[in-house]
Homo-oligomer: A and B are copies of this chain.
């Protein structure tokens, strides 16, 4: 591998001049510039990024910290972010926090020791206080409420999405709609719960039916039994995320309860798996890929504009109607409700 000094020697100039050409910065005569570029091309020289990093305190690398890349939400996010990173000349570091016990903050240390230029956080496992200390590390936080200064937050309008989901269930004739809400330390779960509550409150004849869930497939499946025992006449389930909705679907299937005929099911997230279930799952789609892409783009912007300040971006969700909420005659309800929406 040739170095900048090799190039300099071969072009009959100093390393400083080559560096100026490389970075397109400072005065260089057109004549020397051309000569140097030719030599660079001929030698196939490429600057060593580590040396450059040491000098500039930069690594042209950004990191994405997720809970668990095997959670189907994250690969799409990661892909969007990786692609945007790559297109802007950045490498893409991935970290999973799940199952790392208390070592998660090691990821944060990396930021300093390896001059990682910025980080996208999509995990609740990273201590928010430690995050706050990283004042001058550009940061983008996904799907989380936070009060971190100098960070960009990207999320969807979960409240609105949840209202849309609930209204949709109402619109296909459901009148006993349960919501399986996610862990309440997660602000998205909270917002979705609030959205559900709002619609129930504002629609006559409905009342809240709530069970807690843990955002996993098994968790979703487990709530079903409870739910049916307490409320045998429910006709719709709005799960706080797709994974739970998938669990619900599986369980209902095992119990020979027909979806959507007996109970309609709606999820939230728009993960790819919702197209694979039988019946296919209606869901509130988040622009996951776009969120990843946007996160990387915003992060890079912040890297180039330090101390840009706080920013919050809220994207729209989209109701994706599929088989699991197909409109069917709901004979029981017909008697007691006359509401035609």
Interfacial residues, chain A to chain B (CB-CB below 8 A): 1, 46-51, 53-54, 59, 61, 68-70, 72, 74-76, 78-79, 82-83, 86, 91-96, 99-100, 103, 106, 109-110, 112-115, 217, 246, 249-250, 253, 272-273, 276-278
Min CB distance A47 to B, Å, is 7
Contact B69 A78 (CB under 8 A): yes
Residues of B within 8 A of A70 (CB): 75-76, 79, 272
27 A–B contacts from the bound complex (CB under 8 Å): A46-B112, A48-B54, A48-B113, A49-B113, A50-B50, A50-B54, A50-B113, A50-B114, A51-B54, A59-B114, A68-B79, A70-B75, A70-B76, A70-B272, A74-B75, A82-B94, A82-B95, A86-B95, A86-B100, A86-B103, A91-B93, A91-B110, A92-B95, A217-B276, A250-B278, A253-B278, A273-B273
Contact B94 A94 (CB under 8 A): yes
Question: 9 more A-B contacts (CB under 8 A) besides A70-B79, A91-B93?
Answer: A46-B113, A47-B113, A49-B114, A54-B54, A69-B75, A94-B94, A249-B278, A253-B278, A278-B278
A94 and B48 CA atoms in complex are apart in Å by: 20
Residues of B within 8 A of A83 (CB): 96, 99-100
Residues of B within 8 A of A112 (CB): 1, 46
User: A276-B250, A276-B273 given as contacts; is B115 within 8 A of A96 (CB)?
Assistant: no
Number of copies: 2
A23 and B223 CA atoms in complex are apart in Å by: 53
Residues of B within 8 A of A69 (CB): 69, 75, 78-79, 82
Residues of B within 8 A of A100 (CB): 83, 86
A215 and B167 CA atoms in complex are apart in Å by: 38
User: A50-B59, A53-B50, A277-B276 given as contacts; is B92 within 8 A of A94 (CB)?
Assistant: yes
Residue of A50, A54, A99, A273 with most partner-chain B CB within 10 A: A50
Residues of B within 8 A of A47 (CB): 113
A91 and B273 CA atoms in complex are apart in Å by: 29
Q: Write the chain B residue with the least CB distance to A59.
A: B50
Q: Write the chain B residue with the least CB distance to A217.
A: B276
A70 and B250 CA atoms in complex are apart in Å by: 23
A54 and B114 CA atoms in complex are apart in Å by: 12
